[in-house]
Amino acid sequence: MTLTKKGLRELGESARILLTPEQKNAILERFGTEPWPHEWSGQDIACQIDIFLSYGVFEKPVKVHGMRHPLPEGVF
C-alpha cells in the first residue's frame, strides 16, 4: 500500500489533525512508494505518521540503559 495526497488528506480529516506543508511532503516522500521488496500496510503508515508527529522522526526514540535518547531540538 502507498499513500497518495488524497489518502493523506482523508487520513488527516478523519484523525482531525492539521499538517504543515513540510510534514505532508515528508510523509508523502516516505510512504509514496513501497519499500521493495516489502509493502506498507495501512497500520504501518498510521503508526509511523503518529510517531513522526509526536517525535519529529519516523523511528521512535529507543531507551538505552533505561534512559530515553534526547528528542530532537524543539520537540517536547
Instruction: Taking each helix axis as running N to C, give the angle between helix 21-31 and helix 5-15, from 0 to 180 degrees, rounded to the nearest 10.
Output: 120
The pLDDT score that the predictor gives to residue 38 is: 79
The pLDDT score that the predictor gives to residue 57 is: 83
Give the pLDDT confidence of 4-63 residue by residue, as tens digits. Answer: 999 999 988 988 889 999 999 999 999 998 887 878 888 888 888 988 988 888 876 555
The pLDDT score that the predictor gives to residue 40 is: 84
